[in-house]
């Protein structure tokens, strides 16, 4: 086998491979022999079908199998011999296969570019030191109290208004015909929340318990069910009850009800501790992102398009899945395909460049990843998923993702080293400076 490598750019290569005629013929013969063992042709005993008959009946199939076998045998060997690290699938262009003749093919692919890290020590970074203030604790306690609020039935001649919770029965129809999902019994909706069809909640205002009313709305053009999108609908609504949210007083009794706290001061201390931990984690993330950005600025490197595309698609898909579990439509948050392309692709490119630089630092320093490193990295994820670390590690191994995980751990180790060698200026947050 002969192989030549053509450099088409910082990250693109073209491989040209020529396989000798004798190796081609040997592969063709072996493929026919294996095929003959399993085929049945009328008039011939199994395994005794003449080659001419086999060629006439299965020639195209054999040629395709031979081409694939020759590529499988030589492509990986060529990558290893020439120390190429592919980051994309190859685009292969095979020549026509002719028995008794050498056979050639070319492969274009993207590879990990050469990375020269010239400056990574003594980066000048700034880190914000945020301190929890009383206003943040107060806001968190109020939010916690809201989560423990109860809905209490309004008595008397109360009229439904914004902020109330309405318990309703409803039946909807489009053009006089009921539609799937258009009816409900004792459904609770918050008036003014905007969670129902636009205009529906507004038309319920002023109703009294026991009253019935017709509500006319139009489904949005982008409604999830295309058969209803843009169509007017009529709902027969009966208001069963009016409820109001009663938020508990934030006092010692509330503290005891929310957990193992003796009094409000103990709860306040725990809330303050939680907020401080969140602020510290956010400060840590921001510092690491700042370091990655500076590494990219100080050490120019080309980002292979395949790596950028993979990073971009991964970020988009993980975000869509996270929002989907929360019942949120990404496009309603402005995350349209155009917005994602405009805002997230540059971020993906920066992340790829930073990863290439950190990977090179890890290689230069000879970093290794141990089983203990993997377990420590997976432990927070296992705890959140309520799984054993060993179970999560086995899942990564089964899906062939351990090398990806090891690469990420090496990157984190390299970034830890960068921060260890950096000069970090501590700064107070804006709110702290004002005090």
Residue 391 has pLDDT above 50, yes or no: yes
Residue 433 has pLDDT above 80, yes or no: no
Residue 199 has pLDDT above 80, yes or no: yes
The continuous run of DSSP H or E covering 427 comes out as strand 423-428
The confidence score (pLDDT) of residue 47 equals: 65
Per residue in 99-151, pLDDT (tens digit) is 889 999 999 999 999 999 999 999 999 998 888 999 999 999 999 999 999 99
Q: What are phi and psi of 265, to 5 degrees?
A: -65, -35
Per residue in 296-314, pLDDT (tens digit) is 999 999 999 999 999 999 9
Cβ atoms within 10 Å, residue 31: 19
Identify whether the C-beta of residue 24 lies closer than 8 Å to the C-beta of residue 70: yes
Q: Which of 198-207, 339-348, 352-361 has the lowest mean pLDDT?
A: 339-348
pLDDT band at 328 (very low <50, low <70, confident <90, very high): confident
Long-range pairs, 81-84, Cβ under 8 A, ≥24:
81/3, 82/3, 82/5, 84/5, 84/13, 84/15, 84/109, 84/111
Q: State the Cα–Cα distance between residues 268 and 336, nearest whole angstrom.
A: 40
3-state secondary structure of 128: strand
Rounded to 5, what percent of the chain is helix, strand, coil?
50, 20, 30
| pLDDT, mean of residues 214-232 | 90
Residue 68 has pLDDT above 60, yes or no: yes
- Estimate to the nearest angstrom the gap between the alpha carbon of 89 and the chain centroid: 21
Q: State the Cα–Cα distance between residues 73 and 36, nearest whole angstrom.
A: 22
Q: What is the mean pLDDT of the chain?
A: 91
| pLDDT, mean of residues 230-244 | 96
Identify whether the C-beta of residue 26 lies closer than 8 Å to the C-beta of residue 99: no
- Looking at the chain, the whole-number percentage of residues with pLDDT higher than 70 is 97
All structural domains of the chain, each given as residue ranges with its CATH number in brackets, are 2-110 (3.30.70.1050), 150-246 (3.10.50.40), 256-433 (1.10.3120.10)
């Amino acid at each position: 086998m002969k192989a030549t490598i053509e450099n088409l750019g910082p990250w693109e290569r073209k491989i040209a491979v020529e396989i000798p005629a004798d190796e081609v013929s040997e592969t063709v013969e072996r493929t026919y022999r294996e095929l003959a063992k399993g085929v049945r042709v009328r008039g011939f005993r199994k395994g005794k079908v003449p080659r001419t008959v086999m060629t006439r009946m299965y020639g195209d199939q054999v040629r395709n199998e031979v081409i694939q076998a020759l590529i499988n045998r030589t492509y990986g060997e060529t990558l290893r011999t020439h120390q190429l690290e592919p980051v994309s699938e190859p685009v292969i262009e095979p020549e026509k296969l002719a028995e008794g003749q050498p056979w050639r093919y070319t492969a274009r692919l993207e590879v990990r570019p050469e990375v020269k890290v010239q400056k990574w020590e003594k980066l000048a970074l700034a880190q914000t030191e945020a301190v929890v203030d009383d206003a943040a604790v107060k806001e968190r306690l109020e939010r916690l109290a809201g989560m423990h609020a109860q809905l209490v039935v309004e008595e008397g001649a109360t009229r439904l208004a914004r902020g109330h919770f309405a318990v309703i029965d409803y039946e909807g129809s489009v053009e006089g015909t009921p539609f799937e999902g258009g009816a409900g019994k004792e459904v609770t909706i918050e008036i003014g929340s905007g969670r129902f069809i636009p205009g529906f909640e507004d038309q319920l205002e002023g109703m009294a318990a026991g009253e019935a009313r017709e509500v006319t709305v139009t489904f949005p053009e982008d409604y999830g069910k295309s058969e209803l999108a843009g169509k007017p609908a009529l709902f027969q609504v009966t208001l069963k009850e009016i409820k109001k949210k009663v938020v508990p007083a934030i006092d010692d009794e509330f503290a005891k009800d929310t957990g193992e706290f003796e009094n409000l001061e103990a709860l306040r201390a725990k809330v303050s501790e939680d907020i401080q931990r969140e602020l510290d984690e956010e400060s840590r993330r921001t510092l690491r992102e700042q370091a990655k950005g500076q590494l990219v600025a100080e050490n120019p490197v080309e980002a292979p398009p395949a790596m950028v595309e993979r990073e971009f698609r991964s970020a988009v898909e993980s975000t869509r899945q996270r929002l989907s579990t929360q019942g949120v439509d990404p496009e309603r948050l402005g995350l349209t395909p155009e917005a994602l392309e405009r805002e997230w692709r540059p971020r993906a490119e920066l992340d790829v460049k930073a990863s290439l630089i950190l990977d090179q630092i890890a290689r230069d320093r000879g970093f290794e990843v141990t089983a203990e490193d993997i377990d420590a990295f997976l432990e927070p994820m296992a705890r959140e998923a309520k799984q054993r670390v060993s179970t999560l590690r086995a899942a990564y191994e089964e899906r062939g993702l351990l090398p990806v995980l090891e690469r990420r751990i090496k990157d984190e180790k390299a970034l830890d080293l960068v921060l260890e060698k950096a000069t970090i200026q501590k700064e107070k947050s804006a709110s702290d400076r004002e005090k």
